[in-house]
């Protein structure tokens, strides 16, 4: 499929649940969110049906997100079923890493090879603070297990926050000298609860890069790491991994966007930052056939905007990241 701006759409991010076992400051309020009743969440067989339609339309890459996707009951059998579908080229998982040690081998055996792990600090107390109670050791043990099992690439997604983790930028970069990890610094996006943090906490990728180069030397261009993400990659001399920068605000990557998003409650969303959604759940449960579902996909593609407008001060309304799918 191509949208009206000539972008090829071949990637679907599937949110398996709106539930999470952490309460990160920039993602959701301290009391959490009002999660959808179970009956309003897509069933596993319904998600597989959506995947069938996506494959028929040329989508061949899938990323499983949440909330925390590894909390979803039946996630391993689901991944196995998805991996067996003809035409599937890639299945990746975005996780907070807390369940990786427990489920890593099952994920690997199910066919997952690529992981994105959200990690914003290497300090135990800061981790407890930003996640409102999480334990850094759980994530670190999970990363070590993932490395041992042979997941490649493993990308660490780090939201850069001025006054919180900017003093750790160099420490994160040093990880690539010791481990084959791909550290990706992401500019804070004003979505949901992070809207109120944006003015004081934002730090650009250019500033982060300068901080790294001042301490560790010049960064060299690095070949693009496998995946459909928008990061620009560099490496330090002798590094086993790479350092990526996602300019979500200062230099948006919308011109190359190749994705749609499926929310846990069955809405097909053409853009993370646009409020348009196409209701697949109602169509599935009213008996829509393949052609009807294809038309809904095409409608979503036609709704994709040329670019988001967050940097120009567009008001933030609607759902937060944890409800859309991180």
> What are the pLDDT digits (tens) for 59-86?
999 999 999 999 999 999 999 999 999 9
The crossing angle, in degrees rounded to 10, of helices 290-302 and 44-56 is 70
Helix (H) or strand (E) holding 295: helix 290-302
Q: Write the class of the CATH domain 11-324.
A: alpha beta
pLDDT band of 314, cuts 50, 70, 90: very low
What pLDDT does residue 323 have? 63
Of 15-29, 99-113, 197-211, 307-321, give the range with the top mean pLDDT. 99-113
What average pLDDT does the structure give for the chain? 91
pTM of the model: 0.92
What pLDDT does residue 312 have? 44
Provide the 8-state DSSP code for 8.
B
* Residue 272 to residue 256: CA distance in whole angstroms: 14
Lookup result for tokens 């800061």 = 126
* Residue 173 to residue 142: CA distance in whole angstroms: 19
What average pLDDT does the segment 113-134 reach?
Answer: 97
Structure tokens at 309: 């407008």
Angle at 144 between CA 70 and CA 233, to 5 degrees: 85
Helix (H) or strand (E) holding 267: strand 267-269
Residue whose C-alpha is closest to residue 188's, from 173, 165, 204, 167 = 204
* Residue 218 to residue 101: CA distance in whole angstroms: 35
Q: Is the pLDDT of residue 321 over 60?
A: no
End-to-end CA distance of the chain: 23
> What are the pLDDT digits (tens) for 192-237?
555 556 668 999 999 999 999 999 999 999 998 888 578 999 999 9
Structure tokens at 93: 């998982």
Provide the 8-state DSSP code for 50.
H
The ranges assigned to domains in the chain are 11-324
Q: How many CB atoms lie within 10 A of CB 133?
A: 10
pLDDT band of 245, cuts 50, 70, 90: very high
For strands 267-269 and 259-262, give the pairing: antiparallel
Q: Which residues contact 106 (CB under 8 A, 6 or more apart)?
A: 76
Q: Is the pLDDT of residue 127 over 80?
A: yes
What pLDDT does residue 287 have? 97
Residue whose C-alpha is closest to residue 9's, from 254, 252, 292, 260 = 260
Cross-strand pairs, 268? 262, 278
pLDDT band of 139, cuts 50, 70, 90: very high
> What are the pLDDT digits (tens) for 145-174?
999 999 999 999 999 999 999 999 999 999
> What are the pLDDT digits (tens) for 248-306?
777 666 888 999 999 999 999 999 877 899 999 999 999 999 999 999 999 999 999 98
Residue whose C-alpha is closest to residue 59's, from 314, 300, 306 = 300
For strands 232-235 and 242-246, give the pairing: antiparallel
Count how many Cα atoms sit within 13 Å of the Cα of residue 51 in the half-sphere of its side chain. 29
Q: Give pairs for 26-29: CB < 8 Å, separation 24+.
A: 26/159, 26/161, 26/188, 26/192, 26/193, 26/194, 26/197, 26/201, 27/192, 27/193, 27/194, 27/320, 27/321, 27/322, 27/326, 28/192, 28/193, 28/320, 28/322, 29/193
* Residue 3 to residue 302: CA distance in whole angstroms: 6
pLDDT band of 117, cuts 50, 70, 90: very high
What pLDDT does residue 290 have? 98
């Amino acid at each position: 499929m191509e949208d009206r701006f000539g972008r090829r759409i071949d990637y679907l991010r599937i949110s398996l649940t709106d539930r999470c076992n952490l309460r990160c400051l920039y993602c959701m309020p301290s009391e959490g969110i009002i999660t959808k009743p179970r009956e309003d969440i897509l069933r596993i067989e319904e998600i597989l049906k959506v995947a069938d339609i996506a494959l028929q339309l040329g989508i061949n890459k899938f990323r499983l997100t949440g909330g925390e996707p590894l909390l979803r009951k039946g996630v391993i059998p689901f991944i196995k079923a998805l991996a067996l579908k003809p035409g599937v080229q890639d299945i990746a998982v975005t996780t907070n890493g807390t369940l990786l040690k427990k489920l890593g081998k099952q994920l690997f055996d199910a066919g997952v090879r690529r992981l994105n792990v959200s990690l914003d600090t290497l300090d135990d107390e800061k981790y407890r603070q930003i996640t409102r109670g999480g334990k850094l050791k759980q994530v670190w043990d999970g990363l070590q297990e993932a490395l041992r099992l042979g997941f490649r690439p493993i990308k660490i997604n780090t939201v850069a926050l001025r006054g919180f983790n900017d003093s750790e930028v160099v420490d994160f970069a040093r990880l690539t000298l010791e481990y084959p990890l791909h550290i990706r610094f992401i500019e804070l996006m004003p979505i949901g609860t992070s809207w109120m943090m944006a003015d004081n906490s934002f730090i650009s990728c250019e500033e982060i890069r300068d901080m790294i180069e001042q301490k560790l030397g010049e960064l060299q261009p690095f070949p693009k790491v496998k995946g459909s993400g928008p990061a620009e990659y560099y490496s330090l001399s002798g590094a086993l991994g790479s350092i990526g920068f996602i300019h979500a605000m200062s230099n948006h990557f919308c011109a190359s966007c190749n994705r749609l998003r499926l929310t846990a409650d069955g809405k097909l969303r053409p853009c993370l930052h646009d409020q348009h959604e196409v209701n697949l759940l109602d169509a599935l449960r009213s008996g829509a056939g393949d052609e009807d579902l294809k038309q809904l996909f095409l409608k979503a593609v036609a709704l994709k905007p040329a670019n988001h407008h967050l940097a120009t001060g567009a008001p933030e309304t609607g759902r937060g990241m944890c409800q859309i799918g991180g």
